[in-house]
Structure formats: structure tokens, C-alpha cells
Amino acid sequence: MSDKRGTEDPKAEAVVTESEDFQYALRALLAAYQPVLEQQLNLIANPQELQRQLQAGRQTCAEEFAEAYALFEKFLTEDVAQRLLPAQARELLGPIEQWRWCFLHIRCCLVFGWLACRWPRTFRGFAYYLYEYWRCVRQVIGNPVSDPPTAEQRRDFERLVNVLAAAFKPYLSDQLASVEFPAGVPQEVIAGTIDCFTDDQFGCQIFERLLTTEAARALFGEAAFQEHSQQPSFWFCRCWCLCSLCFGCCLGRARSIPQIVVCFQDYLRCLGDCFRPLTCELTDPQGCVAEQGNVALSAIGVDIDGTAAGLGFSHYILEWSQDSITWFATNFNYPPIPPGGGTQGNIPVVSGLLAFLDTTTLNEGLTFIRMTVVAVNGTTRTCGPINFELFRQDVRITGIDYDFNLNTNPYDPAAEFIETVPALCTRPSGVFEVSFGESITVQGSAFVGGCAAKQIRRYSLDYQPGFVTDPMMGPWTNFWNVFYGPDPNQFLVMNERRDNSDLIAAWGAWTPCWVNPVPPHNVICGVTDPQGELYPTSWPTTFNPPCGFSGLVTLRLTVEDAANYLYYDTQRIWLDNKWPCAAIRITAVPPCAVVNLSQFANPPDCSVPWQLPLVGIAYDEYIDYALPFTRPNDNFDFYRVKVAKQGGSWVQIPVPGPGGSCFFGTSRVGDPVARCISGPYDPAHLDPSAILGLLTNFDLRALDPLCSSQVPYSVPPDLLLPRGECCDYMFWLWVQDRTIFSGGPHWAEAFWPVRICNDLKS
């Protein structure tokens, strides 16, 4: 069981440690350790033997297991086992012949715990020792594992590893969270909250989550499980095994004789806890309790703490109510978390987490909790209800411009707004972070309430350049505020600031609220009519001419309650207020000159393309030149080129590329040189040093009635130019990026008119 050191009565512990049975078992334990310690001392006095062992190489896995079995076979004899067990256990078990399988199984538990905890293990390392533990248990109960294992045995071991993964994941999630967000660790170390005993029970906690009913079925095999589980002592054998796993784990980390003795004392205390009466106790939550986000479950809720354990424990069931009349057993996520879920708790809990209650569908305010603990013989014990005030802290940014597509969830400070970019010509498809531009709207929840004196007073939105997760870090620039009046009717509208509401909004005509037009925009509200509406406005991100604000920024939502407490949420977004540049030219002939087909069809052979080079610029700036040139910083989408005869329809021209011809160019062409243009470039007044590149070649055969059938695309009749005639044509270039704003993506277009004569002879 989990360590409860320091919570027991010291007088009662003294009686146990001074008893003859305790001293007898302790002497057996120390005698088992004595050869190990003497061997280490002999190596100090015999350097030649030490050198020989070093040259022989590291201890093999087989030698490691042999050492462990030798240690615990010497310690845990049948006599020692009977003397260290509580009187209730000896009475329950009866003659040794009835429970010898359990006794031998306990040795396997001791070995597994000792080897798995001798130094920090990875999940794969745990899985190896779990495999040997499984083989040991199967051997001693008379159901040995075949070599190689049968298909059924393989499935059982796979189930065991899956249970181990669920038991191991909370430890990894906790470690990862500490590594990802280490801001509070230095303070905890300095304050002494983190010391040399921190996380020293991680191994035992993994074992507690591992010993589920599902694991027992896979460990024994279904037939053996059905046979042994019918015995009255089976439940105690499982509890004894858990105590032995934790005892072995403690011994594996012990570095001195006193530490070994402390481990043994905890072992006896654990065995005594196996016989405590069926216990049902709810301790938390109580008072005003705030919801907490659980990243692993992608949910908000509260922890339910207490005790569900004791003699013959089978499982426990929790229920909630918000009127103390109608009760529900839903919304509870039982350990192990993750993955959570289930309809009941199958692991005994002593002064710990019983479940995580998902409060997403609950109302804020008074909430009741009760619990029923069930024994293997069907008897039950009920406790509660306890009650608490559910304090809803629904503070989160969920969307930008009504885009709610996050790659994780709003509770993750590193969540990104993403899009799926389809394949186009030589461009592969992929999922990338998106960018937003121009005036943006912000959606989300800005609500706190459910407890007295903790109703919402105001909320505000701020920003700062770059990506930060600490809402207290760095200078923030405010751009939006909403202040609530003291009238109780105001809370009717406060409830609207939930889920995916418009956080940036002006109050409608039915309310006496008004918006200050000068930034930061302040929404001032008095008494709000229940029929009042909200009309979305926006935050103009182009506030810094000439190119607006562009780059990775962090938004911060702050909610203040009536007691002046602050609640935060941050969200990263990319802003792009840089428009693409489009310019198109025909440089093969002088400006204002007529294009004669004979200049390009020489000789006028229909089987050979008559290429007219179209040059220009199809360019979109990188959002931030100090960051890697990948999406969304590289926000270029595509360009396309079309041509039309005066009064006729447009025809798209293929764009050559490394993968062949396509009707879209997916790479930049040329460079306008000038940077940070807010709004479309003027293609007629480019920077003198602007660089033009080849956009595409227009095959003039498409205009000739005799040769148009040779081009690889359909040509409408109204594009054709009969021989001996001239007409005006217009070339059109369209360039766009992938920025999301109210008008669609940023785009730019350019035109180049030209007079073309078909001077070829009929």
C-alpha cells in the first residue's frame, strides 16, 4: 500500500516491534541480507577478487534473478511467513497446505518488487521484470508458461503489459508536466517542499495501479483465476502480494540497515491494513472548490478524495447530485488516470484519490457526493453525502475568427490552431499551424462563479510578442476590457460568456452598455436587460502602419472576481498582416509594342511550342525573418496565370515545374525587394531593384486556329485569333497566401495588356 509513515500511533508500533514474532522475522530478514553484506565487505579486503569480478563483466540477468531468489527464499520460510502474518490472516488461511500456492506466489512478488526498484526503470525495463514475474507466478501455481508461450499465453502477457502501461503512464505524465513547466520547481526545492523523500513511493504506486482484477486474470490464466478466486483467502493473497511488492521495492532502494528495518516495519503495517474493517470515508472536496483542467483527460473537474478499503474489499461506486434527491453515477474517472473511465473503482484507496469528477455538464454551485464500498461477499458500506460549492473557473480562449480547430485542447498552453493543407501540384499535403490577419475576433469563455464573493467582476484581453505560457511573465499590452456592474441581473449576461462566446463584442441596443471607441476598448455595463444581445466586433491587428503587427504572439485572457482574485488563460496565435506581391510583364518585346505570332513561330510548325515568356513577381513575405522559414512563417500558397481575349472568357495557363506542368505555381517567383507592405503592392511602381522571374511560358499556338489543338489544354473559340487579324489580350496574375481573415486569404493581382497580331500566312 502507499506509504503512510508517520500517521500511526507510536505506542502501538512499539508494541508490534517489540513482539517476539516481529523480532524473529526481523532476524530472519537480516540473516538473509548478511551474506550479501559480507560478500561486499570481503571484496573491500580482497582487491584481486574485485578485479577478477570486474574483468568477468557485469552481472547477467540470470545471475540477478538467482541472487534475488536466494535472498527471499532464505528470508521468507513457511515458519517466518506464519509468524509475521497478523492473527486474522493465520485464522483465515488455516493449515499451510491450503495456501502454499499463495506463499510461493508471495516470493515472486518480493523478487519482482526488489528487482524492479533497484534503480529507476523505464517502462520497457518494468515490462521485462513483469514477464519474469508472470512466469514465476505461473510456475508456482502449477500453470507454467510454455517455451515458447502459446497463443493464449501471449495474449495474457499482452494484457498484462497493457495494464502496466496504464499504471505507468500517470508517473510519466507527472514527470513530463514537471519538465515542460518547471517554473515552480525552484521555489519548492528552496522552500523544502521537494526533498530527498520526494517521489520515493512511485514504484509502490505503480504496483497499486497494476494489481487490477484484469491483471490478476492475465497473471494466473483464466482457468486458474476462476479456481483460486473461489477460495476465501484469495482476496488476502492479493493484498499480501501488493504489500510484498512495495516491501521488495523499498528494500531495493534501501542503502543501510536502519532503512531495511523501516521497510520491514512498513511491511507489517501494510499487512495489518489488509484486515482493517470495510472502510468508506469521503474527505474532499469541501467548501468552495475550483474546477481544475486535466490535460490527460481533456476535461475540467475536481478530485474526489477519501478511503475505500478494508476486509474483503471488492470495489466502490461514487455518485453525485445537485439537489440531494436525484443521484448520478456518471462523470467519474476512476484510477488509474489516465485513462480513467470505468463504472467503479477496483483498486483499494487509503486517504487518496478516489476519482476525478468531470464537471463539464454540471452547474456551478452546491454539489453532493456519496459513495458505496462493496465487499467480495456482497456486503456494502455507504458514506456521505458530503457537499461542496462547485466554483466554475471557465476561463479559456477557444477560437480566433470562429476557427476552433486546435491540435490539442484549450487547456494546453501550447495548443496550436491548425489546418490541413491539401496537395497541389508538387506541394505535398500536411497539417500546419495557421495564421490570422487584419481585424480578428476572439472566442472563448470568461466566467467564474458558484461561490459567494467569487462572482465575475471583469475580464480583459492582452497580448505580447512571442510565445509564453506564464501569464505573469513579461510586459502585456491591453486591448479589450469588459466591466460588470453590481446588479444581480448582470449575471444573466455573465452566463453568456461561456463556451465559444465572442469575448470581443459590443453590447447590443437593448442594454445601457457602451464601448469606448479609443483603444483599449472598454465595454462598460450597468444593469443588463435579459434580452440583451452581443454583437461581435474585432481587434484591429493592423495598428502599427505601414505593415501592421505580424509574427507569433500570445493572447492572455484575464478574469477578475469580486474578491479580486485573477484567473488566466493564454493562447498562441500567428498574425500576418503582410500582403503578397503580384507583378507581370512581357519582356520579349519592347513595352507598348505589338506581339506578332511570326516572331515566336519560326518556322510556323504546329508540332513545336511557340513560347511567349511571362515574367514577373509572385511573392509573399515571411512573417518573421528571425524564425525558421516553415509554415506558418512561410505562408505562401500559390499563384496562377490566365489570359483572355478582349470581350472573351479567361483561360488558365499551365505553370511548368520540376514535376511537370500544372495550372498552379506553388513556389515564389522573383522578389519585390521592398518589405512590410500593408495592403496590396502597386505592381506599376515596384522598387527599382525588384527582381523579376519566369512565371510561365504562354504557348501562342493556343491563339492560332490551325495549331490550337496541339496545346495540352482546352481552348475556347473566343480565345482564337484568325490569321491576318489583330486583337487586344489581357494577361492576369493572381497570388495568394494562407492567412485567415474576414475577406479570405491575402491576395494580390496584376494585369498586363498587349496587342497580338496573327501575321502568319494562311
Closest alpha carbon to 620 in 588, 663, 582, 564: 582
- 72 & 173 share domain: yes
Among candidate residues 760, 729, 723, the one with its CA nearest the CA of residue 598: 760
Domain interval for residue 741: 581-757
Same domain, 681 and 745: yes
- Average of pLDDT values for 199-215? 78
Q: What's the domain count of the chain? A: 4
Both 449 and 537 in one domain: the answer is yes
Residue of 418, 414, 415, 394 lying closest to 501 (CA atoms): 394
pLDDT band at 705 (very low <50, low <70, confident <90, very high): very high
- Comparing 350 with 146, the larger pLDDT belongs to 146
User: Which residues on neighbouring strands pair with residue 57, listed in sequence order?
Assistant: none
Same domain, 346 and 424: no
Q: Are residues 144 and 22 in the same domain?
A: yes
Dihedral Cα 442, 443, 446, 447, nearest 10 deg: 170
| Range of lowest pLDDT (317-321, 512-516, 526-530) | 526-530
pLDDT digits (tens, 9 = 90+) for 19-32: 788 888 889 898 88
Query: What is the structure's pLDDT at 2?
Result: 41
Domain-located, residue 596: yes
- Boundary-marking domain end, from 544, 575, 606: 575
**Res 412 pLDDT > 60:** yes
Supply the pLDDT for residue 493. 45
In a domain, 564, yes or no: yes
Q: What angle do CA 81, 87, 90 make, to 5 degrees?
A: 55
Mean pLDDT of 239-267: 90
Residue whose C-alpha is closest to residue 578's, from 546, 615, 538: 546
Same structural domain, 146 and 112: yes
Confidence class for position 426, pLDDT limits 50, 70, 90: confident
Q: Are residues 495 and 617 in the same domain?
A: no
Q: Is residue 479 part of a domain?
A: yes
Q: Taking CA 311 as the corner, what is the angle to CA 306 and CA 314, rounded to the nearest 5 degrees?
A: 70
Residue range 188-202: mean pLDDT, rounded: 75
pLDDT of the residue at 548: 67
Closest CA to 296 of 354, 339, 341, 352: 339
On whether residue 189 sits in a domain, the answer given is yes
Residues 653 and 510 in one domain: no
Same-domain pairing of 85 and 185: yes
Q: Look at residue 3 and tell me if it is in a domain.
A: no
80-101 confidence digits (pLDDT tens): 998 888 888 888 888 888 889 9
Distance CA 702, CA 234 (A): 88
Same domain flag for 591 and 727: yes
Q: What type of residue sits at position 463?
A: Y
Per the prediction, the chain carries an average pLDDT of 84
The rounded distance, in Å, linking the Cα atoms of 676 and 622 is 10
d(CA 152, CA 146): 10
Residue 60 has what pLDDT?
A: 84
Over residues 5-16, the pLDDT tens digits come to: 333 444 444 445
Same domain, 589 and 566: no
Residue type at 137? V
Final residue of a structural domain among 553, 575, 597: 575
The answer to whether 240 touches 275, Cβ cutoff 8 Å, is no
Binned at pLDDT 50, 70 and 90, residue 229 comes out as confident
pTM over 0.75: no
Which has the higher per-residue pLDDT, 687 or 214? Answer: 687
Q: Is residue 116 part of a domain?
A: yes
Measure CA of the first residue to CA of the last residue in the chain; give whole Å.
Answer: 99
Radius of gyration of the chain (CA): 37
Assess whether the previous peptide bond of 410 is cis (omega < 30° from 0).
no
Mean pLDDT to the nearest integer, 661-675: 92
- The cell for 218 is 492475465
Residue 315 maps to which CATH number? Answer: 2.60.40
Q: Which of 45-59, 73-87, 241-255, 327-341 bottoms out in mean pLDDT, i.e. has the lowest?
A: 45-59
Which has more confidence, 505 or 117? 117
- Residue 209 pLDDT exceeds 60: yes
The more confidently predicted of residues 57 and 697 is 697
Q: Based on the domain organization, do 524 and 634 belong to the same domain?
A: no
In-domain check, residue 396: no
- Characterize the bridge pairing of strands 418-421 and 380-400: unpaired
Question: What distance in Å separates the CA atoms of residue 451 and residue 117, rounded to the nearest whole number?
Answer: 45
Q: Which of 575, 593, 625 is the last residue of a domain?
A: 575
Per DSSP, what are the bridge partners of residue 219? none
Answer yes or no: is 2 within a domain: no
Which pLDDT band holds residue 59 (cuts at 50, 70, 90)? confident
